Structure 1
Amino acid sequence: MKVPITELQERVSNLQDSLQKKGIDGALLVQRADTLYYTGTAQNVHIYVPREGEPIVLAYRDFGRAQQESSWEVIQLKGMSKIPNHIQEAGLPLPEKLGLELDVLPVNQFGRYRKTFPDASLVDISSEVRLLRAVKSEWELARLEKSAQIHAQVLEYAKEVLHPGMTEVELEGLVEGKARSLGHGGYVRMRGFDSEFHFCVITSGARAAVPSCFDGPVTGQGISIAHPNGATMAQIQTCEPIIVDMVTVVDGYQIDQTRILSLGPLAENLIKAYEAARLVEERIRCALVPGRVAGEIYEEILTWVRENTPYEDNFMGYRTGQVRFVGHGVGLELDELPTISKGSKEVLKAGMVVAIEPKFVFPGVGVVGIEDTVVIEAEIGARYLSVSPRELAVL
């Protein structure tokens, strides 16, 4: 589906407002999620956004597809050194102060831009871009809602095919095939350096409580030392919590959701911890209102868990393995802003989309918890985009 030109124009206009406030003459964006957001194509393109006037979309590969997919006029790029020429040919002055995505730009690539724009001051524009992308339009929310519908169908399918003795990898493979058949895009984009995430983490029992390099409360043990997250070849047993932490993607937009399944009843202490996680999720949802500071909500939630549950050491990991967040932005990337995390200064705005994920980790036993994607709207709290039932699914 082609991104409407009115959508792209609004996005560029918002970025230009930020450029003018920062005294930046233009932004040159090259990171895939950012260029997809501002051009409507995931081809290999640069987009130059001047502080005033039309943006310039320069496609390296594939030029023909970029022309077809983007609602902007697209120019063929035959070399990075030609970018200043294209700017001048568009009747625009060369920037004296140029914004780049310095949070993700490799040093070698930065060096090439420095040679291409020898007289320009190169500054970081990544925070402005990420904060603008954090607020979703109605068009974007429609993509997320469709993704949530696919997620719900895949989860029901997982309940149908799950049986004792099947391996975690087997269930994951069946789930992925079903998701793809329903239109799941496949890619799970992340911005963080060296971050890797398969679309689904299916892990069960004590393996779910094994910590990993990935910055998340539950990652699974993984299939090998080279792939240390997610499913294993181990068989799923009865009466143990089974984590289905899954991302579904429509037109690049991601819904992140976790549910707990069980083949037979769980131990009473795990059931109580799951109900505590649901209470925490609802408290976070109600706290996600425009104007709140994300880090303050995080501290409130930690205090509530400490004062109202016996699971402080198990919240969002176990002791030294605990992560310092309870929610993260999602959209074209899985690790967007805002983060409901320790020390976060981000002020929440209507239209921001957050995955809330309170989880309790019990080493040697397993993990229980929940995750849902919500959109911040009004003073009554965020609205659920996830549509799957939130009850513990005992099969």
Structure 2
Amino acid sequence: MAASVRTESKARLKALRGALAKEKADALLVTDLKNARYLTGFTGSNAFVIVTESKAFLLTDSRYATQASLEVKGYGIKIITKAIDAIAGLVASLKIKTLAFEAANVTCSTHSKLGEALPKVKLKPTTGIVGRLRVKKDSGEIERLRASARLLDTGYRDAMRLIRPGVVERDAALSIEMALRRRGADGLAFDTIIASGPRGALPHGKASHKLIKKGEFVVVDMGVLMDGYNSDETRTFVVGKATVRHKEIYGIVKGAQAKALEAVKPGIKAGAVDAAARDHIKKAGYGKYFGHGTGHGVGLDIHEGPSIAPGNEEILEEGMVLTVEPGIYMPGWGGVRIEDMALVTKGGYELLTNTGKDLIAL
């Protein structure tokens, strides 16, 4: 494990212990795999983490014994067979009286089994205790997100080459995805969206068997996964010559994104960024065609905090990475969305995705 990764793990563990103290719990049981990875660096598919004021443990099964020993430092590693029994045994040995757990990631069944195995331990539900730490990215995370975004930009060069009249949406998506994998993507952040013509009114219209036709908008929303970190970007193209209506709708969305990006800076409420985009679209007369939030955080998860949504009081901080993605979706006709990833900096923001945003006719 590189020294920088060990330093990240140590700093995160310290921050978690500070947050745990405020919860008035003796320990935290982490069951969310992304949260476990964030804390420990472990990339396996079976992991539980238990953290106390002075000790920390990673629990996994025998498939990952060697992997855990290579990836995880600063945690006691325990190879287990039955998770509930192992967790209960460790909690008992540590003399834990109050065990906090991730309420959003523990099923009713698991909670019941833990209660039966630990009758004298208070189980305390918590929400977002690790997620709040993940919202601000450290330097290592930012570099991983930059790399993921740089690779994703190359996919849009492929899209501009491949999208033509008569091409099937799924065929274009597959070709782009294969090229991205060859260039180093570990996988996709989500199913590629290529939505042409009326399908562009579907915000999550993943690539279908539809033929792309001349005179249509084509919404392309893609993301890749690199070293655990996601990227997310959307561009909208027109096939053939753009009409007056194409130019009007596209210009409104482009202007809305510019307004929202201007609002991005430390100390601003997330909801204010959403309002900047939403108000611009409303003033242009298309407010009813923009229903979703303006953006979301990006990191180990493709959707994480902060939520750039109406009324969100969360304050933006330097080091957050978020998307800004307003859109207009008109049923029966089509849609436009423009999305970029932005890093919140001391003086404002820095774009991590950099595909051009002028309306391009293919």
Task: Note whether the superposition's TM-score is higher than 0.5.
Answer: yes
What are the within-5 Å matches in structure 2 for residues 354-369 of structure 1?
354-369=322-337
> Given the alignment, which residue of 204, 207, 210 partners 1:219?
204
Distance in 2, matches of 1:370 and 1:329, equals 16
Q: What is the 5 A alignment of 1:239-388?
A: 239-307=215-283, 309-315=284-290, 322-323=291-292, 325-378=293-346, 380-388=347-355
Which sections of structure 1, spanning at least 5 residues, go unmatched?
189-196, 211-217, 221-229, 316-321
The superposition leaves residues 65-111 of structure 1 with CA deviations (integer Å, 9 ceiling, x where unpaired) of: 2222223442212322122433566xxx3322222111122221222
For residues 94 and 204 of structure 1, what CA distance do their matches in structure 2 show? 60
Aligned residue in 1 for 2:210: 234
After superposition, give the CA deviation of every residue in 1:239-275 in whole Å (9 maximum; x if it has no partner). Answer: 2111110011111111110011222122222212212
- CA shift at 1:19, angstroms? 0.7
Counterpart among 71, 74, 79 of residue 82 in structure 2: 79
Kindly state the Cα deviation for residue 293 of structure 1 after the two structures are TM-superposed.
2.0
Seen in structure 2, the aligned counterparts of structure 1 residues 159 and 302 have a Cα distance that, compared at 3 Å, is: closer
Q: Structure 1 residues 187 and 233 mapped into 2: Cα distance closer, same or farther (>3 Å)? A: closer
- 1:97 aligns with 98
| TM-aligned CA deviation for residue 310 of structure 1 | 2.1
CA–CA distance in structure 2, aligned partners of residues 245 and 388 of structure 1:
12
Following superposition, the deviation at residue 133 of structure 1 comes to 0.7
> 1:394 and 2:361 equivalent?
yes
The sequence identity of aligned pairs, in percent, is 27
1:208 paired residue number: 200
Distance change in 2, residues 1:233/1:67 (3 Å): same
- Shift of the alpha carbon at 1:124? 2.7
Q: CA deviation at 1:201?
A: 0.7
Q: Secondary structure at the match of 2:100?
A: strand
Say whether the 8 Å CA contact 1:202–1:242 is kept in structure 2: yes
Q: Could you list the runs of 5+ residues in structure 2 that have no partner in the other structure?
A: none
Greater shift, 136-145 or 69-78, is seen at: 69-78
- Distance across 1 between alignment mates of 2:281 and 2:333: 20
RMSD: 1.9
Deviation string, structure 1 residues 275-323 (Cα, Å, up to 9, x no partner): 222221122122122222222443344333323x1211222xxxxxx22
Match of 1:182 in 2: 183
Q: 1:94 and 1:345 mapped to 2: Cα distance?
A: 39
Identify the residue that residue 138 of structure 1 maps to in structure 2. 139
Q: Which amino acid aligns with 2:286?
A: Y
**The residue matched to 2:231 in structure 1 has which SS?**
strand
Contact (CA 8 Å) 1:298, 1:342: kept in 2 or not? yes
The 10-residue stretch of structure 1 (56-65 or 291-300) with the greater mean CA deviation from structure 2: 291-300
Counterparts of 2:272 and 2:125, CA distance in 1: 27
Tell me if the contact between 2:223 and 2:232 (Cα under 8 Å) persists in the aligned partners.
yes
Distance in 2 between residues matched to 1:277 and 1:381, nearest whole Å: 21
| 1:150-189 matched pairs, under 5 angstroms | 150-186=151-187, 188=189
- Alignment: residue pair count: 357
How far, CA to CA, are the matches of 2:204 and 2:267 in structure 1? 32
Output the amino acid matched with 1:75: K
CA distance, structure 1, for counterparts of residue 318 and residue 100 of structure 2: 26
